[in-house]
Amino acid sequence: MNSALVTRREGAVLILSNNNPAARNALSPEYYHAVMDGLRAASTDASVAAVILTGEGGHFCAGGDLNQLATRRAMPLAERRIKLEDLNHLIRAIRDCPKPVIAAVEGAAAGAGLSLAMACDLLVAAKSAVFSVAYVKVGLTPDGGATSFLAEFVSRQVLTELCLTGERISGERMHALGCINRLTETGAALPAALALAQQLAQGPEVATARIKTLCRVAHHHSLEEQLALEADYMVEAQGSEESLEGIGAFLEKRAPDFARLRSAE
């Protein structure tokens, strides 16, 4: 176990939990690398069907460690950029992982913590959770894809307001904006995320990975690009063992057993 990360399994679900509760799970290089290692391992492990990102001690992630960030003013610009790429690599690792990645958010998800939560494929949060694009309050600008992810849900005016004010956004408002899939009572985000992950774990592995890709790129693709990619995936899926099992189960009026195909790999 990496000290920056608590890793555990619940059946086919891998749970990666930020382990810096004294700093409300502020980010660190050790955390970045530990999570990327976990995602890479999950990507090629047939026994892992879904991943949950969460945090120890009642908070998801308070964002960057301001003590560390304060030391970067003395660094050359190129070195600062290298440091920042750790966060970007993690965001890309979440995007590129073929398994669904679910954020389970309690407490604070601020700054890069908000970016991290919204980078996930699905987001489960407590009503009492607090989100914030907090950068402006310390004279910084958003990173980690925060503006890109939020722009998928809100107007330019609302995006500008959230970023320029750095105001706290309740879990209930984030849910109303469409950013949250499941809204829970305090303390119930992880169990709800686990239930969702276990539901997804019953699905077809290859089709799930392709659906994740389709949903990721739909916002950026033209209709023609999306039609072409959907057609490519559908043509391949029609000849797969997964569709043989799924269609066969439907015609035989039984539940499909996609987990059997995964365990046979």
% the chain with pLDDT above 90: 85
- Decide the pairing of beta strands 101-105 and 169-170: unpaired
| Segments making up each domain of the chain, as ranges | 5-200, 205-263
CATH 3.90.226.10 assigned to 5-200: yes
Looking at residue 108, its pLDDT comes to 96
Where residue 8 falls among pLDDT bands split at 50, 70, 90?
very high
CB atoms within 10 A of CB 77: 8
Confidence of residue 1 (pLDDT cuts 50, 70, 90): very low
Could you say which of 3.40.47.10, 1.10.12.10, 3.40.190.290, 3.40.1790.10 is the CATH number of the domain covering 205-263? Answer: 1.10.12.10
Among left, alpha and beta (phi > 0; psi -120 to 50; other), residue 63 is left
Tell if the pTM clears 0.75, that is, is over it: yes
Beta-bridge partner residues of 104: 124
Residue 22 DSSP one-character state: G
CA distances from 227 to 28, 119, 255 (A): 40, 24, 30
The pair of three-digit structure tokens given for residue 115, joined into one six-digit string: 């970016």
Give 57-116 pLDDT, tens digit per residue.
999 999 887 777 767 777 778 887 787 789 999 999 999 999 999 999 999 999 999 999
Q: What is the mean pLDDT of the chain?
A: 93
Q: What is the mean pLDDT of residues 121-137?
A: 96
Choose the weakest-confidence range: 7-11, 138-142, 154-158, 189-193.
138-142
Query: If you average pLDDT over residues 152-173, what whole number do you get?
Result: 95
Q: Return the minimum-mean-pLDDT range out of 79-83, 192-196, 209-213.
A: 79-83
